Amino acid sequence: MSETTNLPDPSAVPETPAESARKIRKARSQVMGVVLGMAGFHLACLGAFYTGVSTTAVVAAILMYVIRGMGVTTGFHRLLAHRSFKTNRFIQFMLAFAGSLAVQGGPLWWVAHHREHHAETDTEGDIHSPVTRGMWQAHMGWMMTDAAFNEKGNNSRDLHKFPEIKFLQRHYVWLIVGQIGLLFGLGAWLGAAFPQLQTSGLQLVVWGFFISTVFTWHITFMVNSVCHRWGGRPYDTGDASTNNVFIGVLGFGEGWHNNHHFYPSSARHGLRWWQLDITWWFIRCLKAVGLASDLKIPKELRDA
């Protein structure tokens, strides 16, 4: 069902042993960075016991969840990975920018792995399948393996024609540092200018960045783990993908994952009236104001 191939590049020159060794060393250090980073982010959430909470902090956490989560679902997934609608370069960049703030890797890396998942769903080649690798690997363990950082063929090569997307891939770490700095500055200013808000720089960083990021992570990761195990399977996709109401709602429509595996290039994942799909409604809004076009939907809905 995938629209991508993973054929070897015929122009590729074979790697020398030194190049292979360098790649392996690089992947190892990236894996170590992921392990330490993920542990550190989870521990940083405990900072809430030190900073306390305020309405401002909770609003910041929710806003950051919505902005970055929608960046991943609309930008990384439905636009960049599946090209399920068209938009202009500026909106594409803004959506990819929002997704890049979610600390889920840069857009080219995210898209390459996601397309690989569609091409190899629930087989040995799928590095985050709960069927072949178990729930822990499917949820987050896969990012702690060398395979997560190996070159995934040419899976996102078509996006290299957008220098602004390559820019986000290259510099996305600075977007992480930048948002921590901005949230700290905003919290410190609000705390000083409006003491009745009872907030602080550190409090906004803990809630608006760390807690919000870890929550967004687990919702995204559950699309890979939970949505290939628990839920309904209205379509015979030949894999273990499911529609899960919990992830459907909290994941802005991404939990209608069995629908998605059956119609991977559809911009709409919630195909029944009751399958809430906030990302689809957002894309509809973009279309209504002239910022999106050519929304792909299954023929069964077009004919209805």
CB of residue 246 vs Zn ion: minimum separation in angstroms? 16
Contact pattern for Zn ion over residues 186 through 225, marking x by CB under 5 A: ----------------------------------------
CB of residue 124 vs Zn ion: minimum separation in angstroms? 15
The rounded distance, in Å, linking the Cα atoms of 77 and 229 is 21
**Beta carbons within 8 Å of 271's beta carbon, 6+ residues apart:** 256, 259, 263, 298, 300, 301
- What region does 294 belong to: left with phi over 0, alpha with psi -120 to 50, or beta? left
Name which of 68 and 78 has its Cβ closer to Zn ion: 78
CB of residue 257 vs Zn ion: minimum separation in angstroms? 5
CB of residue 221 vs Zn ion: minimum separation in angstroms? 12
Residues 227-266 that bind Zn ion (CB under 5 A): 241
The encoded tokens of residue 299 equal 């023929």
Name which of 149 and 263 has its Cβ closer to Zn ion: 263
Contact pattern for Zn ion over residues 71 through 110, marking x by CB under 5 A: ----------------------------------------
Name which of 61 and 247 has its Cβ closer to Zn ion: 247
In Å, the largest CA–CA distance within the chain is: 64
Name which of 122 and 179 has its Cβ closer to Zn ion: 122
Name which of 100 and 241 has its Cβ closer to Zn ion: 241
CB of residue 264 vs Zn ion: minimum separation in angstroms? 6
Residue whose Cβ sits closest to Zn ion: 241
Q: Where are the beta strands (DSSP E) in 130-226?
A: none
CB of residue 214 vs Zn ion: minimum separation in angstroms? 22
The DSSP H or E segment spanning 87 is strand 86-87
CB of residue 228 vs Zn ion: minimum separation in angstroms? 6
Contact pattern for Zn ion over residues 23 through 52, marking x by CB under 5 A: ------------------------------
Which long-range CB contacts under 8 A does 163-172 form with residues at least 24 apart? 164/89, 164/93, 164/96, 165/80, 165/92, 165/93, 165/96, 165/107, 165/108, 166/108, 168/93, 168/96, 168/97, 168/100, 168/106, 168/107, 169/106, 169/107, 169/108, 169/109, 170/106, 172/100, 172/105, 172/106
Question: Contacts with Zn ion: how many residues (CB under 5 A)?
Answer: 1
CB of residue 253 vs Zn ion: minimum separation in angstroms? 12
Name which of 241 and 244 has its Cβ closer to Zn ion: 241
Contact of 157 with 8, CB cutoff 8 Å? no
Contact of 122 with 129, CB cutoff 8 Å? yes
Picking from 33, 7, 4, the residue whose alpha carbon sits closest to that of residue 114 is 4
Contact of 250 with 277, CB cutoff 8 Å? no
Name which of 208 and 239 has its Cβ closer to Zn ion: 239
Name which of 51 and 265 has its Cβ closer to Zn ion: 265
Contact of 173 with 7, CB cutoff 8 Å? no
Rule CB under 5 A: which residues touch Zn ion? 241
